[in-house]
Amino acid sequence: MADSTSTASEAGDAPVLFREAMTVRGKRIGFAQLNAEKSLNALNLAMIRLLDAQLQRWAGDPAIVCVVLHGAGEKAFCAGGDIRGLYRSIVEHRGPPPNHDNLAFFSEEYTLDYRVHRFPKPVLVWGSGIVMGGGLGLMAGASHRVVTETSRVAMPEITIGLFPDVGGSWFLHRLPGRIGLFLALSGASINGHDLLVAKMAEHFLRATDREAIFAALTTLAWSGEADDDRHRLTALLDGFSAQAQAVRPASNLHRHAATIETLCAGDDLAAVHAAITGYAGDDIWLQKAASTLRAGSPTTAALIWALRERTRGMSLAEVFRLELVVALQCCAHPDLAEGVRALLIDKDNTPRWTPATLAEVTPQWIAEHFAAPWSDSLVSLGLDA
């Protein structure tokens, strides 16, 4: 079927490319491609604003029956947020929060993520290749989350002194057992099969089937009724799943389910931290998880635990509002800038955390990260729906 392309996609170097594909019944599919292949489609503020504006237009257009989010190239859907840009903003504008550049980035990113969670039509996210941080924030809210044999997914914020944001405080803690806590603390990399086990994705398909699936979307008899159309989309994707079984990798989450539950069974952070970092087995994946937590920011570990406790019973909107506070306070406290410096700027991989150990992290220090640096009326986050 013929495609019509939106204004935003007329320049090939636009950070997000949009197109609309006509279907057999005259309805249209909206395609949004993150177009920053060199940076593994990492999100910057320009991309966030383009995506959010287009999603609002598509939500209100009765001819649009489904939206597809995917990334340029084969390596990544989205490797996270523009951490280098965030670092520059922190070091150039030191002072008490809120830093208004960082406020804009985080508040608009979270608003976009929330919009995906609440989108009134089917949303398919093609989560092939690398999906980290902000990429998982986009994927988590989609009605149809596709992974492939190339999917490599993680929330590795423990390594840079942030925390699993973009709604991570909501979706990670709703995973089976204590999988979410383990993934948050360890930053462990998981594959497409793992995401099925964790119920973070519904469809495992072959990466090479992407274009065939995108083309097949135009052949569906879309009705314009969201629930009916979600079922139609599910049936289409299920039809491609059988041929992907041969390339499905083994799941570390399934293999180590009992061990993960044991390691994370403690009633306090110190016990869980000691159990994970003290892992003495011979499994390489679990060894890496232990070493990542051991080397990670003690403040991040404490924030993960505190958010887990504080967000119990909160709505999704409330979780995003609380994450915004903590994210901006992370920008104003030492570990985020230091973690990015060590990992991405100087690349010496020797961050000097403040405090240096979990034992030195005080309740007062963590409480500072939950102090809102504004009046309640300053930021609505667009989360009132």
Which active-site residues does the annotation give? 81, 134, 157, 165
Other Cβ atoms less than 10 A from the Cβ of 322: the count is 18
Measured between alpha carbons, how far is residue 367 from residues 231, 330, 332, 372 in Å? 45, 12, 14, 10
* DSSP 8-class letter at 98: P
Calpha distance 86→264 (Å, rounded): 32
Question: Which conformational region is residue 251 in: left (phi greater than 0), alpha (psi within -120 to 50 degrees), or beta?
Answer: beta
Question: For tokens 């699993």, what's the residue?
Answer: 164
Long-range contacts of 23-28 (CB under 8 A, 24+ apart): 23/65, 23/217, 23/218, 23/219, 23/220, 23/222, 24/218, 24/219, 24/220, 24/221, 25/221, 25/222, 26/63, 27/63, 27/64, 27/65, 27/222, 27/224, 28/4, 28/61, 28/63, 28/64, 28/65
- What is the maximum span of the chain, computed from C-alpha positions, in angstroms? 63
Other Cβ atoms less than 10 A from the Cβ of 239: the count is 12
**Nearest residue to 275 via CA among 286, 283, 362:** 286
**Residue 152, helix vs strand vs coil:** strand
What are φ and ψ of residue 160, in 5° steps?
-120, 0
Calpha distance 81→132 (Å, rounded): 9
* DSSP 8-class letter at 342: I
Say what the alpha-carbon torsion angle 115, 121, 125, 126 is, to the nearest 10 degrees: -160
